[in-house]
Amino acid sequence: MNDREIVERIIRNDESQLYSNIVSRYSPQILSKVLALVKRRDLACEITQQAFIKAYTNLNTWRGSSLGAWINAIAMNASLTSLNQEKLRYSEPIEKADNIEREEYSEEREQMLLAMEKAISRLSETDKEIIRLHYYEGRKTDEIAQALGLTSSNVLVKMHRIRERLKKDLKDERNK
Amino acid sequence: MKEINDKGLDMLINNVFERQEMLEEINQQIMKTVKKQHRKSMAYHRLCILAACFGIPLVTVFLLLTYYKVAQSIPDSIPLTFSIIAASVSLIVVAFKSFDLLNENV
């Protein structure tokens, strides 16, 4: 279903649950862009949420151009407004604040993230869990083995294979 | 896309999981708010229907009753006739507009 059909169904038939398709379609890219601009995860999450909610409330004013670009414009405006407010609130420039993470947005990085997401989604559930526990939760091999009922050597071998597979998938995506 | 080294790969995997969690949370929050707004607007429209169905007849009855009572004490009053015509016209306009609104939203 394309964006226009979804929006028409939301407006005409009140099928608000269809909005989740729009959200999952555009939120990764918009979140990355907002994060690159405001440089704070909590603020980026809040602005992305606000932008999608504002877009939903004003869906009937959408003129049928690219929906992603429209929501992106709303998010960028909200980010700039928020940055201005932050600058007014603190005398210290936002770029020098302590707890900020410096992540620059680039189409290439976004593509790599998407390619990696795709590659991870193709893994089996056990493999996904292994890399999630290791890379995201920072658990050690023994702990992963215990959590999943495997031996430590088995986890090590699996991790090596998963990494190789992800590398290969990423390379294939790059060569496309 | 450029070539990626081992450290970069580790970081990319980590970023994917971090982002997935953030996105899940964002998506849940958005849909929660959207559902809330939807429920609110449905409740508002139901209230509008109730107001249109019971409010307009009630006002009409009140208007006619007042006219009847005043006409009994002052028969053949021209200002009274004009005021009742004006009230009836505005009532008809309000009724049409509210039914139009209901048709648009229900």
The answer to whether residue A94 scores a pLDDT higher than 70 is no
The answer to whether the CB atoms of A31 and B33 lie below 8 A apart is no
The answer to whether residue A107 scores a pLDDT higher than 60 is yes
Mean pLDDT of chain A: 86
Tell me if chain A has a CB within 8 Å of the CB of B16. Answer: yes
Residue to substitute from B2, B6, B30, interface A, most A β-carbons within 10 A: B30
Mean pLDDT of A135-159: 91
What ipTM score was computed for the predicted complex, to two decimals?
Answer: 0.76
pLDDT given for residue B78 in this prediction: 83
Based on C-alpha coordinates, what's the Rg of chain A? 20
pLDDT given for residue A82 in this prediction: 87
What is the spatial distance between Cα A144 and Cα A141, in angstroms, rounded to a whole number? 5
Give, for A145, the enclosing helix (H) or strand (E).
Answer: helix A141-148
Give, for A37, the enclosing helix (H) or strand (E).
Answer: helix A19-38
Mean pLDDT of A33-57: 91
pLDDT given for residue B1 in this prediction: 58
pTM of the model: 0.72
Q: What are A6's two structure tokens?
A: 């979804």
Q: Is A23 left (phi over 0), alpha (psi -120 to 50) or beta?
A: alpha
User: Any alpha helices (H) in B1-106, and if so which ranges?
Assistant: 6-50, 56-73, 78-105
Q: Which residue type is seen at A176?
A: K
What is the spatial distance between Cα B72 and Cα A19, in angstroms, rounded to a whole number? 60
Minimum CA–CA partner of B11 in chain A: A135
Residues 6 or more apart from A41 whose CB is under 8 A from it? Answer: A35, A101, B22
Based on C-alpha coordinates, what's the Rg of chain B? 30
> Between chain A and chain B, how many beta carbons pairs sit less than 8 Å apart?
93
Tell me which residue of A6, A86, A78 sits closest to A47, measured CA to CA.
A78
Q: Which residue type is seen at A53?
A: I
pLDDT given for residue A100 in this prediction: 46
A20 falls in which pLDDT band (50, 70, 90)? very high
**φ/ψ (deg, to 5) at A120:** -70, -40
**How far are the Cα atoms of A40, A174, B55 from residue A112, in angstroms, in the given order?**
21, 8, 60
What is the spatial distance between Cα A139 and Cα A142, in angstroms, rounded to a whole number? 8
What is the spatial distance between Cα B13 and Cα B17, in angstroms, rounded to a whole number? 7
Q: What are B98's two structure tokens?
A: 């509210």
Tell me which residue of A69, A79, A70 sits closest to A49, measured CA to CA.
A79
User: Which of B4, B35, B38 has the CB atom closest to A170's CB atom?
Assistant: B4
Kindly list the residues from chain A whose CB atom is less than 8 angstroms away from the CB atom of residue B33: 49, 53
pLDDT given for residue A144 in this prediction: 92
What is the spatial distance between Cα A121 and Cα A138, in angstroms, rounded to a whole number? 20
The answer to whether residue A98 scores a pLDDT higher than 80 is no
Q: Which residue has the higher pLDDT, A126 or A86?
A: A126
Question: Both ends of chain A: CA-CA distance in Å?
Answer: 26
- Encode chain B (106 residues) as per-residue pLDDT tens digits: 567 788 888 888 998 998 889 999 999 999 999 999 989 988 988 888 888 788 888 888 888 888 888 888 887 778 888 888 888 888 888 888 777 766 665 5
